[in-house]
Amino acid sequence: MTSFVFKLETHSVPPFMNDVQEVVRAFSPYITLSDLSAEVLSIGAVPAKDGFSFFVECPSCREEYFLPLNASEGALGSKRRIKTAAKGYLYSFCNRLTGISLPYGSLTGVRPTAVYYRSIGSYSNIIEHLVTDYFVEPARAELIERVVRSQSGLINRDPLRADVFVNIPICPTRCSYCSFISAEYSRVRKLVPVYVGALKDEISSIRNEIRENGYTVGAVYVGGGTPTTLDEDMLGQILPLLDFGTEFTVEAGRPDTVTEGKLAVMKASGVTRVSVNPQTFSDDTLVRIGRRHTVDDFYRAYSLAKEYGFDVNVDLIAGLPGENFDDFEHSLGCAVALRPENLTVHSLSLKRGARLKEGGASRRMDGGVKEMCDHSIEKLISSGYEPYYMYRQKNIADGLENVGYALDGKQCRYNIDYMEETTTVLSAGAGAVTKYVYGGEGRIERKSNAKGFEEYLRRAGK
Ligand code: SF4
Protein backbone atom coordinates (compact mmCIF):
# COMPACT_ATOMS: atom_id res chain seq x y z
CA MET A 1 0.00 0.00 0.00
CA THR A 2 1.38 3.43 -0.99
CA SER A 3 1.75 5.93 1.81
CA PHE A 4 2.13 9.71 1.65
CA VAL A 5 3.77 12.38 3.78
CA PHE A 6 2.33 15.84 3.20
CA LYS A 7 2.67 19.32 4.54
CA LEU A 8 -0.90 20.54 5.01
CA GLU A 9 -1.88 23.99 3.75
CA THR A 10 -5.27 25.62 4.04
CA HIS A 11 -6.49 28.49 1.86
CA SER A 12 -9.29 30.85 2.92
CA VAL A 13 -10.74 28.19 5.19
CA PRO A 14 -13.28 29.88 7.51
CA PRO A 15 -12.65 29.44 11.27
CA PHE A 16 -15.61 27.06 11.70
CA MET A 17 -13.85 24.69 9.31
CA ASN A 18 -10.59 24.53 11.23
CA ASP A 19 -11.04 20.93 12.27
CA VAL A 20 -11.86 19.53 8.81
CA GLN A 21 -8.20 18.54 8.55
CA GLU A 22 -8.89 15.88 11.22
CA VAL A 23 -10.26 13.84 8.31
CA VAL A 24 -6.74 13.68 6.82
CA ARG A 25 -5.24 12.64 10.18
CA ALA A 26 -7.75 9.78 10.37
CA PHE A 27 -5.91 8.21 7.40
CA SER A 28 -2.65 7.89 9.36
CA PRO A 29 -0.33 6.01 8.77
CA TYR A 30 -1.33 5.95 5.07
CA ILE A 31 -1.22 9.74 5.06
CA THR A 32 1.12 11.41 7.55
CA LEU A 33 1.22 15.17 8.04
CA SER A 34 4.63 16.79 8.52
CA ASP A 35 5.67 20.44 8.19
CA LEU A 36 9.01 19.19 6.90
CA SER A 37 7.55 17.51 3.82
CA ALA A 38 8.19 19.06 0.42
CA GLU A 39 4.92 17.61 -0.88
CA VAL A 40 1.90 19.78 -0.10
CA LEU A 41 -1.73 18.80 0.41
CA SER A 42 -3.89 21.92 0.03
CA ILE A 43 -7.48 22.51 0.99
CA GLY A 44 -9.23 25.65 -0.15
CA ALA A 45 -12.72 26.97 0.46
CA VAL A 46 -14.09 30.14 -1.12
CA PRO A 47 -17.59 31.66 -0.90
CA ALA A 48 -19.05 31.93 -4.40
CA LYS A 49 -22.30 33.13 -5.89
CA ASP A 50 -25.13 30.92 -4.54
CA GLY A 51 -22.73 28.53 -2.85
CA PHE A 52 -19.24 27.58 -1.79
CA SER A 53 -16.31 26.42 -3.94
CA PHE A 54 -13.75 23.95 -2.65
CA PHE A 55 -10.59 22.43 -3.95
CA VAL A 56 -8.31 19.69 -2.63
CA GLU A 57 -4.93 19.26 -4.25
CA CYS A 58 -1.76 17.21 -3.87
CA PRO A 59 1.16 16.80 -6.31
CA SER A 60 -0.58 13.96 -8.18
CA CYS A 61 -4.14 15.30 -8.42
CA ARG A 62 -6.53 18.19 -7.91
CA GLU A 63 -10.27 18.04 -7.40
CA GLU A 64 -12.79 20.87 -7.34
CA TYR A 65 -16.26 20.90 -5.89
CA PHE A 66 -19.17 23.31 -5.70
CA LEU A 67 -21.76 23.23 -2.94
CA PRO A 68 -24.96 25.11 -3.77
CA LEU A 69 -26.48 26.85 -0.73
CA ASN A 70 -30.02 27.85 -0.08
CA ALA A 71 -30.66 31.25 1.55
CA SER A 72 -33.52 29.75 3.58
CA GLU A 73 -31.11 27.47 5.50
CA GLY A 74 -29.96 30.18 7.90
CA ALA A 75 -26.39 30.83 9.02
CA LEU A 76 -26.07 27.81 11.35
CA GLY A 77 -27.61 25.39 8.84
CA SER A 78 -25.28 26.65 6.11
CA LYS A 79 -22.17 26.43 8.30
CA ARG A 80 -23.01 22.86 9.21
CA ARG A 81 -23.63 21.88 5.60
CA ILE A 82 -20.42 23.58 4.40
CA LYS A 83 -18.39 21.79 7.03
CA THR A 84 -20.03 18.41 6.38
CA ALA A 85 -19.47 18.84 2.64
CA ALA A 86 -15.82 19.89 3.09
CA LYS A 87 -15.14 16.87 5.28
CA GLY A 88 -16.88 14.63 2.77
CA TYR A 89 -14.84 16.03 -0.15
CA LEU A 90 -11.63 15.62 1.79
CA TYR A 91 -12.57 12.08 2.80
CA SER A 92 -13.36 11.09 -0.80
CA PHE A 93 -10.08 12.62 -1.98
CA CYS A 94 -8.00 10.73 0.62
CA ASN A 95 -10.01 7.56 0.03
CA ARG A 96 -9.25 7.65 -3.70
CA LEU A 97 -5.60 8.52 -3.09
CA THR A 98 -4.93 5.71 -0.60
CA GLY A 99 -7.56 3.12 -1.52
CA ILE A 100 -8.47 3.00 2.19
CA SER A 101 -12.08 3.20 3.46
CA LEU A 102 -12.68 4.15 7.09
CA PRO A 103 -15.63 2.62 9.00
CA TYR A 104 -16.84 6.06 10.11
CA GLY A 105 -16.02 7.84 6.84
CA SER A 106 -15.67 11.57 7.40
CA LEU A 107 -17.02 11.49 10.99
CA THR A 108 -14.14 12.52 13.21
CA GLY A 109 -15.68 13.47 16.57
CA VAL A 110 -15.69 11.52 19.82
CA ARG A 111 -19.47 10.91 19.75
CA PRO A 112 -20.82 9.33 16.55
CA THR A 113 -24.34 9.47 18.05
CA ALA A 114 -24.22 13.30 18.09
CA VAL A 115 -24.83 13.50 14.33
CA TYR A 116 -27.69 11.02 14.63
CA TYR A 117 -29.41 13.03 17.38
CA ARG A 118 -28.89 16.25 15.43
CA SER A 119 -30.46 14.71 12.33
CA ILE A 120 -33.68 13.58 14.00
CA GLY A 121 -36.56 15.54 12.48
CA SER A 122 -34.51 16.65 9.45
CA TYR A 123 -33.97 13.28 7.76
CA SER A 124 -36.51 10.50 7.41
CA ASN A 125 -33.78 7.89 6.95
CA ILE A 126 -30.82 8.80 9.14
CA ILE A 127 -28.88 5.65 8.31
CA GLU A 128 -28.97 6.66 4.65
CA HIS A 129 -27.91 10.21 5.60
CA LEU A 130 -24.90 8.84 7.54
CA VAL A 131 -23.91 6.56 4.66
CA THR A 132 -24.41 9.11 1.87
CA ASP A 133 -23.24 12.36 3.44
CA TYR A 134 -20.62 11.07 5.90
CA PHE A 135 -19.51 7.87 4.11
CA VAL A 136 -20.14 5.84 7.29
CA GLU A 137 -20.23 2.15 6.41
CA PRO A 138 -23.79 0.74 6.65
CA ALA A 139 -22.97 -1.64 9.55
CA ARG A 140 -21.59 1.26 11.64
CA ALA A 141 -24.56 3.50 10.76
CA GLU A 142 -26.83 0.70 12.02
CA LEU A 143 -24.73 0.40 15.18
CA ILE A 144 -25.14 4.12 15.83
CA GLU A 145 -28.90 3.82 15.37
CA ARG A 146 -29.02 0.82 17.69
CA VAL A 147 -27.18 2.75 20.41
CA VAL A 148 -29.60 5.66 20.06
CA ARG A 149 -32.54 3.22 20.32
CA SER A 150 -31.08 1.67 23.51
CA GLN A 151 -30.80 5.12 25.03
CA SER A 152 -34.45 5.86 24.39
CA GLY A 153 -36.11 6.87 27.67
CA LEU A 154 -32.72 7.12 29.40
CA ILE A 155 -31.57 10.51 28.11
CA ASN A 156 -31.73 12.95 31.00
CA ARG A 157 -33.77 16.10 30.42
CA ASP A 158 -33.81 17.37 34.01
CA PRO A 159 -31.49 20.40 34.42
CA LEU A 160 -31.43 19.82 38.17
CA ARG A 161 -30.05 16.33 37.88
CA ALA A 162 -26.30 16.02 38.39
CA ASP A 163 -23.89 13.10 38.42
CA VAL A 164 -20.79 12.90 40.61
CA PHE A 165 -17.41 11.69 39.37
CA VAL A 166 -14.38 11.04 41.55
CA ASN A 167 -11.00 10.35 39.99
CA ILE A 168 -8.43 8.14 41.70
CA PRO A 169 -5.58 8.04 39.19
CA ILE A 170 -3.48 5.38 40.86
CA CYS A 171 -2.73 1.87 39.57
CA PRO A 172 -0.64 -1.07 40.80
CA THR A 173 1.50 -0.93 37.62
CA ARG A 174 1.16 0.86 34.31
CA CYS A 175 -0.29 -1.01 31.34
CA SER A 176 1.84 -0.61 28.23
CA TYR A 177 -1.03 0.93 26.22
CA CYS A 178 -2.09 3.40 28.94
CA SER A 179 -2.03 7.12 28.17
CA PHE A 180 -3.96 8.25 31.27
CA ILE A 181 -2.27 10.29 33.99
CA SER A 182 -2.49 7.35 36.38
CA ALA A 183 0.50 7.02 38.73
CA GLU A 184 2.03 3.73 39.85
CA TYR A 185 1.19 3.11 43.49
CA SER A 186 4.84 2.50 44.47
CA ARG A 187 5.77 5.99 43.21
CA VAL A 188 3.10 7.89 45.13
CA ARG A 189 2.56 5.58 48.15
CA LYS A 190 3.48 8.23 50.73
CA LEU A 191 1.18 10.81 49.13
CA VAL A 192 -1.87 8.54 48.88
CA PRO A 193 -3.25 9.27 52.38
CA VAL A 194 -2.81 13.00 51.67
CA TYR A 195 -4.68 12.55 48.37
CA VAL A 196 -7.52 10.82 50.22
CA GLY A 197 -7.70 13.82 52.59
CA ALA A 198 -7.85 16.26 49.64
CA LEU A 199 -10.58 14.18 47.96
CA LYS A 200 -12.67 14.17 51.14
CA ASP A 201 -12.48 18.00 51.23
CA GLU A 202 -13.47 18.29 47.57
CA ILE A 203 -16.33 15.80 47.93
CA SER A 204 -17.60 17.79 50.87
CA SER A 205 -17.61 20.98 48.68
CA ILE A 206 -19.51 19.02 46.02
CA ARG A 207 -22.07 17.94 48.61
CA ASN A 208 -22.55 21.62 49.55
CA GLU A 209 -22.95 22.56 45.88
CA ILE A 210 -25.58 19.83 45.46
CA ARG A 211 -27.49 21.11 48.48
CA GLU A 212 -27.26 24.78 47.56
CA ASN A 213 -28.33 24.27 43.93
CA GLY A 214 -31.05 21.76 44.68
CA TYR A 215 -29.49 19.08 42.46
CA THR A 216 -30.72 15.49 42.56
CA VAL A 217 -27.83 13.06 42.15
CA GLY A 218 -28.53 10.68 39.27
CA ALA A 219 -25.39 8.54 39.28
CA VAL A 220 -22.00 8.32 40.96
CA TYR A 221 -18.85 7.04 39.27
CA VAL A 222 -15.49 6.46 40.94
CA GLY A 223 -12.90 5.89 38.24
CA GLY A 224 -9.25 6.33 37.52
CA GLY A 225 -6.85 4.68 37.43
CA THR A 226 -7.87 1.83 39.62
CA PRO A 227 -9.64 3.16 42.73
CA THR A 228 -9.43 -0.27 44.37
CA THR A 229 -5.66 0.20 44.57
CA LEU A 230 -6.56 2.05 47.80
CA ASP A 231 -6.80 -0.12 50.90
CA GLU A 232 -10.04 -0.89 52.74
CA ASP A 233 -9.52 1.86 55.26
CA MET A 234 -9.03 4.57 52.63
CA LEU A 235 -11.96 3.34 50.53
CA GLY A 236 -14.00 3.39 53.74
CA GLN A 237 -13.16 7.07 54.21
CA ILE A 238 -14.25 8.10 50.71
CA LEU A 239 -17.07 5.87 49.47
CA PRO A 240 -19.65 6.47 52.23
CA LEU A 241 -19.47 10.21 51.40
CA LEU A 242 -20.72 9.34 47.91
CA ASP A 243 -23.75 7.26 48.90
CA PHE A 244 -26.73 9.11 47.40
CA GLY A 245 -28.91 6.00 47.15
CA THR A 246 -28.52 5.90 43.38
CA GLU A 247 -26.54 4.03 40.69
CA PHE A 248 -23.02 3.96 42.09
CA THR A 249 -20.09 2.51 40.10
CA VAL A 250 -16.56 1.82 41.31
CA GLU A 251 -13.89 0.80 38.85
CA ALA A 252 -12.04 -2.22 40.14
CA GLY A 253 -10.33 -2.63 36.80
CA ARG A 254 -7.28 -4.55 37.99
CA PRO A 255 -8.50 -7.88 39.39
CA ASP A 256 -5.41 -8.17 41.61
CA THR A 257 -6.67 -5.22 43.67
CA VAL A 258 -10.03 -6.83 44.49
CA THR A 259 -10.40 -8.29 48.00
CA GLU A 260 -13.42 -9.40 50.03
CA GLY A 261 -12.72 -6.64 52.54
CA LYS A 262 -12.85 -3.92 49.85
CA LEU A 263 -16.02 -5.38 48.30
CA ALA A 264 -17.63 -5.39 51.77
CA VAL A 265 -16.75 -1.68 52.21
CA MET A 266 -18.23 -0.95 48.77
CA LYS A 267 -21.42 -2.84 49.56
CA ALA A 268 -21.83 -1.05 52.88
CA SER A 269 -21.29 2.30 51.10
CA GLY A 270 -24.12 1.79 48.60
CA VAL A 271 -22.04 0.82 45.57
CA THR A 272 -24.23 -0.97 43.00
CA ARG A 273 -21.90 -1.64 40.09
CA VAL A 274 -18.24 -2.56 39.68
CA SER A 275 -16.03 -2.84 36.66
CA VAL A 276 -13.60 -5.78 36.73
CA ASN A 277 -11.49 -5.85 33.60
CA PRO A 278 -9.63 -8.82 32.19
CA GLN A 279 -8.92 -6.99 28.85
CA THR A 280 -7.94 -10.42 27.48
CA PHE A 281 -8.23 -14.06 28.57
CA SER A 282 -4.62 -14.81 27.60
CA ASP A 283 -2.00 -14.92 30.37
CA ASP A 284 0.76 -14.41 27.79
CA THR A 285 -0.83 -11.17 26.59
CA LEU A 286 -1.37 -9.98 30.17
CA VAL A 287 2.37 -10.33 30.79
CA ARG A 288 3.13 -8.60 27.50
CA ILE A 289 0.99 -5.56 28.36
CA GLY A 290 2.32 -5.20 31.91
CA ARG A 291 -0.84 -5.98 33.87
CA ARG A 292 0.45 -7.81 36.92
CA HIS A 293 -2.50 -10.26 37.12
CA THR A 294 -3.59 -13.54 35.58
CA VAL A 295 -6.78 -14.80 33.98
CA ASP A 296 -7.43 -16.81 37.19
CA ASP A 297 -7.16 -13.58 39.22
CA PHE A 298 -9.90 -12.15 37.03
CA TYR A 299 -12.20 -15.17 37.52
CA ARG A 300 -11.66 -14.97 41.30
CA ALA A 301 -12.39 -11.23 41.44
CA TYR A 302 -15.40 -11.59 39.14
CA SER A 303 -17.05 -14.31 41.24
CA LEU A 304 -16.37 -12.40 44.46
CA ALA A 305 -18.05 -9.32 42.97
CA LYS A 306 -21.03 -11.44 41.95
CA GLU A 307 -21.20 -13.01 45.45
CA TYR A 308 -21.59 -9.50 46.83
CA GLY A 309 -24.47 -8.91 44.44
CA PHE A 310 -22.95 -6.17 42.26
CA ASP A 311 -23.81 -5.57 38.64
CA VAL A 312 -20.51 -6.18 36.89
CA ASN A 313 -18.97 -4.60 33.83
CA VAL A 314 -16.21 -6.46 32.01
CA ASP A 315 -13.86 -4.61 29.61
CA LEU A 316 -12.11 -6.27 26.68
CA ILE A 317 -9.64 -4.72 24.24
CA ALA A 318 -9.50 -5.72 20.58
CA GLY A 319 -6.07 -5.43 18.96
CA LEU A 320 -3.77 -5.96 21.95
CA PRO A 321 -0.14 -6.50 20.93
CA GLY A 322 0.49 -9.99 19.61
CA GLU A 323 -3.21 -10.95 19.53
CA ASN A 324 -4.99 -12.25 16.45
CA PHE A 325 -8.65 -12.89 15.67
CA ASP A 326 -8.65 -16.30 17.42
CA ASP A 327 -7.26 -14.79 20.63
CA PHE A 328 -9.93 -12.11 20.67
CA GLU A 329 -12.70 -14.55 19.77
CA HIS A 330 -11.59 -16.74 22.67
CA SER A 331 -11.60 -13.79 25.12
CA LEU A 332 -15.02 -12.63 23.97
CA GLY A 333 -16.40 -16.17 24.28
CA CYS A 334 -15.06 -16.47 27.86
CA ALA A 335 -16.49 -13.07 28.82
CA VAL A 336 -19.93 -13.74 27.31
CA ALA A 337 -20.08 -17.15 29.04
CA LEU A 338 -20.06 -15.31 32.39
CA ARG A 339 -23.04 -13.16 31.35
CA PRO A 340 -21.91 -9.95 33.05
CA GLU A 341 -24.58 -7.23 33.10
CA ASN A 342 -22.28 -4.98 31.03
CA LEU A 343 -19.53 -5.77 28.56
CA THR A 344 -17.44 -3.06 26.95
CA VAL A 345 -15.38 -3.71 23.84
CA HIS A 346 -12.56 -1.23 23.28
CA SER A 347 -10.45 -1.02 20.15
CA LEU A 348 -6.82 -0.40 21.03
CA SER A 349 -5.96 3.27 20.82
CA LEU A 350 -2.32 4.32 20.92
CA LYS A 351 -1.89 7.82 22.26
CA ARG A 352 1.04 9.91 23.39
CA GLY A 353 2.24 8.90 26.85
CA ALA A 354 1.59 5.19 26.27
CA ARG A 355 4.73 3.06 26.65
CA LEU A 356 3.84 1.16 23.48
CA LYS A 357 3.57 4.38 21.49
CA GLU A 358 6.80 5.82 22.90
CA GLY A 359 8.47 2.51 21.97
CA GLY A 360 7.61 3.17 18.32
CA ALA A 361 4.43 1.09 17.88
CA SER A 362 1.92 2.59 15.48
CA ARG A 363 -1.77 1.91 15.35
CA ARG A 364 -3.01 -1.11 13.43
CA MET A 365 -4.83 -0.18 10.26
CA ASP A 366 -4.72 -3.54 8.48
CA GLY A 367 -8.39 -4.44 9.00
CA GLY A 368 -7.53 -7.13 11.57
CA VAL A 369 -9.03 -5.27 14.54
CA LYS A 370 -12.08 -4.41 12.48
CA GLU A 371 -12.67 -8.11 11.91
CA MET A 372 -12.57 -8.61 15.70
CA CYS A 373 -14.98 -5.75 16.38
CA ASP A 374 -17.36 -6.81 13.62
CA HIS A 375 -17.43 -10.23 15.26
CA SER A 376 -18.05 -8.69 18.70
CA ILE A 377 -21.08 -6.75 17.43
CA GLU A 378 -22.59 -9.90 15.96
CA LYS A 379 -21.74 -12.16 18.89
CA LEU A 380 -22.94 -9.79 21.59
CA ILE A 381 -26.20 -8.88 19.90
CA SER A 382 -26.97 -12.54 19.21
CA SER A 383 -26.19 -13.29 22.89
CA GLY A 384 -28.81 -10.85 24.15
CA TYR A 385 -26.66 -7.73 24.66
CA GLU A 386 -27.58 -4.33 23.24
CA PRO A 387 -25.01 -1.62 22.46
CA TYR A 388 -25.99 1.40 24.60
CA TYR A 389 -23.14 3.91 24.45
CA MET A 390 -20.18 4.43 22.20
CA TYR A 391 -17.26 6.76 21.68
CA ARG A 392 -14.22 7.11 19.50
CA GLN A 393 -10.65 8.15 20.23
CA LYS A 394 -7.78 9.50 18.21
CA ASN A 395 -5.35 6.93 16.87
CA ILE A 396 -7.81 4.12 17.40
CA ALA A 397 -7.07 0.85 15.56
CA ASP A 398 -8.68 0.60 12.12
CA GLY A 399 -10.54 3.88 12.77
CA LEU A 400 -13.03 2.00 14.98
CA GLU A 401 -14.88 2.70 18.22
CA ASN A 402 -15.43 1.65 21.83
CA VAL A 403 -18.88 0.23 22.54
CA GLY A 404 -20.62 -0.51 25.84
CA TYR A 405 -23.17 -3.35 25.74
CA ALA A 406 -25.77 -4.18 28.39
CA LEU A 407 -28.27 -6.86 29.21
CA ASP A 408 -31.86 -5.62 29.15
CA GLY A 409 -32.43 -2.84 31.68
CA LYS A 410 -28.82 -2.87 32.86
CA GLN A 411 -27.49 0.19 31.03
CA CYS A 412 -25.17 2.35 33.15
CA ARG A 413 -26.85 5.76 33.32
CA TYR A 414 -23.59 7.55 34.07
CA ASN A 415 -22.03 6.33 30.82
CA ILE A 416 -25.00 7.65 28.83
CA ASP A 417 -25.13 10.98 30.72
CA TYR A 418 -21.42 11.53 30.28
CA MET A 419 -21.13 10.50 26.65
CA GLU A 420 -24.23 12.27 25.41
CA GLU A 421 -23.35 15.40 27.45
CA THR A 422 -26.88 15.80 28.74
CA THR A 423 -26.12 16.02 32.44
CA THR A 424 -24.03 18.17 34.74
CA VAL A 425 -21.14 16.16 36.20
CA LEU A 426 -19.56 17.45 39.41
CA SER A 427 -16.07 16.03 39.61
CA ALA A 428 -13.33 15.66 42.22
CA GLY A 429 -9.71 14.57 42.05
CA ALA A 430 -6.60 15.08 39.94
CA GLY A 431 -7.38 15.47 36.26
CA ALA A 432 -11.13 15.54 36.91
CA VAL A 433 -13.29 17.89 34.81
CA THR A 434 -16.54 19.32 36.14
CA LYS A 435 -19.06 19.86 33.36
CA TYR A 436 -22.07 22.13 33.78
CA VAL A 437 -24.67 21.35 31.13
CA TYR A 438 -27.18 24.11 30.38
CA GLY A 439 -29.40 21.96 28.18
CA GLY A 440 -31.98 24.65 27.39
CA GLU A 441 -29.28 26.98 26.06
CA GLY A 442 -27.26 24.21 24.39
CA ARG A 443 -24.24 25.37 26.39
CA ILE A 444 -21.61 23.45 28.35
CA GLU A 445 -19.10 24.95 30.78
CA ARG A 446 -16.05 23.01 31.90
CA LYS A 447 -13.86 23.48 34.97
CA SER A 448 -10.70 21.38 35.07
CA ASN A 449 -8.70 20.32 38.11
CA ALA A 450 -4.92 20.13 37.99
CA LYS A 451 -3.88 17.05 36.04
CA GLY A 452 -0.85 15.75 37.89
CA PHE A 453 -1.16 14.07 41.25
CA GLU A 454 1.42 16.34 42.94
CA GLU A 455 0.07 19.53 41.31
CA TYR A 456 -3.45 18.66 42.45
CA LEU A 457 -2.25 18.28 46.04
CA ARG A 458 -0.27 21.51 45.84
CA ARG A 459 -3.31 23.44 44.64
CA ALA A 460 -5.40 21.82 47.35
CA GLY A 461 -2.89 23.24 49.85
CA LYS A 462 -1.76 19.77 50.98
S1 SF4 B 1 -5.46 -0.10 34.68
FE2 SF4 B 1 -6.24 1.48 33.29
S3 SF4 B 1 -5.58 3.43 34.17
FE4 SF4 B 1 -4.38 1.82 35.15
S5 SF4 B 1 -2.49 1.72 33.98
FE6 SF4 B 1 -3.89 0.19 33.10
S7 SF4 B 1 -4.98 1.29 31.46
FE8 SF4 B 1 -3.98 2.84 32.75
Per-residue pLDDT tens over the stretch 388-423 = 999 999 889 999 999 999 999 999 999 999 999 999
Between helix 138-150 and helix 368-382 the angle, nearest 10°, is 40
| 248 and 309 part of one domain | yes
DSSP 71: G
Q: Is 299 in the pocket of ligand 1 (CB under 6 A)?
A: no
In a domain, 461, yes or no: no
Report pLDDT for 79: 86
Report pLDDT for 198: 96
Cα 292 from Cα 256, distance rounded (Å): 8
Residue 359 reports pLDDT greater than 90? no
Ligand 1 atom at shortest distance from the alpha carbon of 224: 3
In a domain, 350, yes or no: yes
Task: Give pLDDT tens digits for 212-233.
Answer: 999 999 999 999 999 999 999 9
Amino acid occupying residue 442: G
Q: Using alpha carbons, select from 384, 388, 337 the residue that is nearest to residue 329.
A: 337
What would you measure as the largest C-alpha separation in the chain, in angstroms? 71
DSSP 444: E
In a domain, 199, yes or no: yes
| 326 and 362 part of one domain | yes
CATH code, domain carrying 424: 3.80.30.20
| 243 and 113 part of one domain | no
| 283 and 408 part of one domain | yes
| 105 and 25 part of one domain | no
pTM: 0.95
Q: Is 293 in the pocket of ligand 1 (CB under 6 A)?
A: no
Residue 125 reports pLDDT greater than 80? yes
Q: What percent of the chain has pLDDT above 70?
A: 100
Which range is least confidently modeled, 130-144, 155-169, 277-291, 344-358? 344-358
Residue 11 reports pLDDT greater than 70? yes
| 107 and 57 part of one domain | no
Q: What percent of the chain has pLDDT above 90?
A: 85
Q: Tally Cβ neighbours within 10 Å of residue 75.
A: 7
CA distances from 97 to 11, 28, 91, 446 (A): 21, 13, 10, 39
Interval between CA 180 and ligand 1 midpoint (Å): 7
| 304 and 322 part of one domain | yes
Interval between CA 406 and ligand 1 midpoint (Å): 23
In a domain, 155, yes or no: no
Alpha helices in 339-452 (DSSP H): 355-358, 368-382, 413-420
Measured CA angle at 430 (ends 425, 435), to 5 deg: 20
Report pLDDT for 133: 95
Residue 350 reports pLDDT greater than 90? no
| 330 and 438 part of one domain | yes
Rg (CA), the chain: 23
Per-residue pLDDT averaged across 112-123, rounded? Answer: 95
Residue 301 reports pLDDT greater than 80? yes
User: Which DSSP string do the residues of 192-260 spell out, in sequence order?
Assistant: HHHHHHHHHHHHHHHHHHHHHHTPEEEEEEEEES-GGGS-HHHHHHHGGGG--SSEEEEE--SGGG--H
In a domain, 424, yes or no: yes
DSSP 450: P
In a domain, 329, yes or no: yes
User: Which DSSP string do the residues of 154-185 spell out, in sequence order?
Assistant: TS---TTEEEEEEEE-EESS--TT--S-PEEH
Q: Using alpha carbons, select from 245, 256, 311 the residue that is nearest to residue 286.
A: 256
168, 226, 348, best to mutate for ligand 1 pocket (most atoms within 8 Å of CB): 226
Judge if the upstream peptide bond of residue 29 is cis by omega within 30 degrees of 0: yes
Strand partners, 316: 279, 345
Q: Is 199 in the pocket of ligand 1 (CB under 6 A)?
A: no
Q: Is 180 in the pocket of ligand 1 (CB under 6 A)?
A: yes
| 408 and 383 part of one domain | yes
In a domain, 462, yes or no: no
| 138 and 170 part of one domain | no
Q: Is 308 in the pocket of ligand 1 (CB under 6 A)?
A: no
| 124 and 43 part of one domain | no
Is the backbone of residue 192 left (phi > 0), alpha (psi -120 to 50) or beta?
alpha
Residue 182 reports pLDDT greater than 70? yes
Cα 119 from Cα 126, distance rounded (Å): 7
Q: For 330-370, what is the HEC assignment?
A: HHHHHHHHHCCCEEEEEECECCCCCHHHHCCCCCCCCCHHH
Report pLDDT for 1: 67
Q: Using alpha carbons, select from 347, 384, 340 the residue that is nearest to residue 150.
A: 384
Cα 168 from Cα 238, distance rounded (Å): 11
Report pLDDT for 105: 98
Q: Using alpha carbons, select from 235, 234, 231 the residue that is nearest to residue 248.
A: 235
Pairing between β-strand 433-438 and β-strand 51-58 as defined by DSSP bridges: unpaired
Amino acid occupying residue 110: V
Task: Give pLDDT tens digits for 57-106.
Answer: 999 999 999 999 887 777 777 888 899 999 999 999 999 999 999 999 99
Nearest-CA residue for ligand 1 atom 8 is: 178
Interval between CA 363 and ligand 1 midpoint (Å): 18
Report pLDDT for 161: 96
| 128 and 166 part of one domain | no
Long-range pairs for 113-122 at CB < 8 Å and ≥24 separation? 113/144, 113/147, 113/148, 113/151, 113/390, 113/419, 113/420, 115/144, 116/144, 116/145, 116/148, 117/148, 117/420
CA distances from 351 to 356, 393, 395 (A): 9, 9, 6
Residue 440 reports pLDDT greater than 80? no
As a whole number, the mean pLDDT across the chain is 94
Strand partners, 184: 171
Q: Tell me which residue range forms the domain holding 419.
A: 161-456
229, 254, 276, 350, best to mutate for ligand 1 pocket (most atoms within 8 Å of CB): 254
Nearest-CA residue for ligand 1 atom 7 is: 178
Number of domains in the chain: 3
Ligand 1 atom at shortest distance from the alpha carbon of 291: 6
In a domain, 437, yes or no: yes
Cα 276 from Cα 340, distance rounded (Å): 10
Ligand 1 atom at shortest distance from the alpha carbon of 169: 3
Interval between CA 226 and ligand 1 midpoint (Å): 7
